[in-house]
Amino acid sequence: MDLSRYLSPCIQSICELIGYDSSQNEPLPGMPFGAGAAGCLGHFLSVAEGMGFAVRNYGNYAGEVLFGRGEKELAVLCHLDVVPAGEGWTHPPFAGTVENGKLYGRGAADDKGPAVICLYALKALKDAGFVPAGTVKLIAGCNEENGWACIEHYKKHAHLPETGFSPDADFPVIYAEKGILHARFAFPLPHAPFTALYGGQAANMVCDRAAAEGGPFDAARAEKYGLAAEGGRLAAEGKSAHASTPQEGKNALLPLLSYFAEEDERVESVVNKLFRDEAGLTALRDETGPLTLSPDVAEYKDGTLFVTADIRWPSTVKKEAVLARLDALGAPYEVLHCQEPLFSDKNGPLVSALRRVYERHTGTPCEPIAIGGGTYARALKNGAGFGPQFPGRPLPIHQKDEYLPVDDIRTLLAVYADAVRELAK
């Protein structure tokens, strides 16, 4: 099937969706996640409707595109919300810019680009006369990055298929995803060596900027930790990354807190608990890897330092074991968000089918993998993550200058069309 004629309109549609800042914002009447997310979902469904598909909007929480009919159902689960843009971009984060073979913009790879590619893959199948043996539901949520209220709302008002995949992770095919837990720790620090401390934008983004106020500060000691002392302000710069792979970033909170740890043992205790693994959390591991903990958002308020950490725990480890280690830290905490792991049969029909599709289009033998990231696939009884990131070709997801290579878009159109055809035949 020749998909070349779908490439240009697909790129154009991705750029249009990137134009919406769909990061979570204050709710408005009929817009639970803000005007940007609602506008993005409305535009996506409008494009699908223009292709001749039936569409449904579930209160701007989520929407679906329907292809075919029948009781047998297949889900393709995507999301249109994004993490905040952050700073330091060399291309506008909400413009959709194609330059040097790359499509830049927040959401290009995570997950507006893949959502649109899957839509055009369905269009190509429809135009080619393919009739699915049942109903394919392309579901687009608007709260994946901040709690999954979109999926919970969808499950209350529609039927979520048991089987499907999410194009929001890595290739070749993901059979397991770690559990996800966001915990907000409270460290009492009356008379702290600062009057304000803040950093981070979202729990699932490695903190790339942090600062403290209340100086003057020791310039020589600041230089030791790579900090900038500017009058009464002390600033740290790091590198953002997805919190599921904190080792790929540089957390700005660590040098900032380490500076104050030299003069305040209470701050040193914070560093030991959250950055030096005092409770042995990373000793929890299985075939999906060790537990990771990324302290990503901090705020000093009313004599207490609040730090929100992103925790990814191994798929076969019980949540209770994780909580027991957190309790052992001896710091009060509140669980803000929790998702159970995904662990599918790596030799089952779904994973095997997606593996065949990947090998067919890349010519590369592969084995199913496990990741620390979390996708909508875990909302399904039988789900798997499937792309868009190819092995050895990292994408700057949750980072500045996020992009998706144009050549990948061309390949992904063919891969996702084949995947739907394989699973819905």
Catalytic one of 21, 64, 73, 81: 81
The phi and psi torsions of 40 (rounded to 5 degrees) equal -65, -45
Is the N-terminal amide bond of 349 cis, ω within 30° of 0?
no
The phi and psi torsions of 80 (rounded to 5 degrees) equal -110, -10
Strands 102-104, 97-99: pairing is antiparallel
Q: For the CA atoms of 154, 160, 163, 164, what is the dihedral angle to 10 degrees?
A: -30
Catalytic one of 144, 145, 296, 408: 144
Answer whether 318's CB lies under 8 Å from 311's CB: no
Dist CA 387 CA 416 (whole Å) = 9
Residue 144 known to be catalytic: yes
Residue 345 known to be catalytic: no
Answer whether 164's CB lies under 8 Å from 386's CB: no
Instruction: Tell how far CA 292 is from the center of its chain.
Output: 15
Answer whether 11's CB lies under 8 Å from 19's CB: no
Give the per-residue SS3 of the chain: CCCHHHHHHHHHHHHHHHCCCCECCCCECCECCCHHHHHHHHHHHHHHHHCCCEEEEECCCEEEEEEECCCCEEEEEEECCECCCCCCCCCCCCCCEEECCEEECCCCCCCHHHHHHHHHHHHHHHHCCCCCCCEEEEEEECCHHHCCHHHHHHHHHCCCCCEEEECCEECCCEEEECEEEEEEEEEECCCCCCCEEEECCCCCECCCEEEEECCCCCHHHHHHCCCEEECCEEEEECECCECCCHHHCECCHHHHHHHHHCCCHHHHHHHHHHCCCCCCHHHCEECCEECEEEEEEEEEECCEEEEEEEEEECCCCCHHHHHHHHHHCCCCEEEEEEECCEECCCCCHHHHHHHHHHHHHHCCCCCCEEECCCCHHHHCCEEEECCEECCCCCCCCCCCCCEEEHHHHHHHHHHHHHHHHHHCC
User: Which of the residues are catalytic?
Assistant: 81, 144
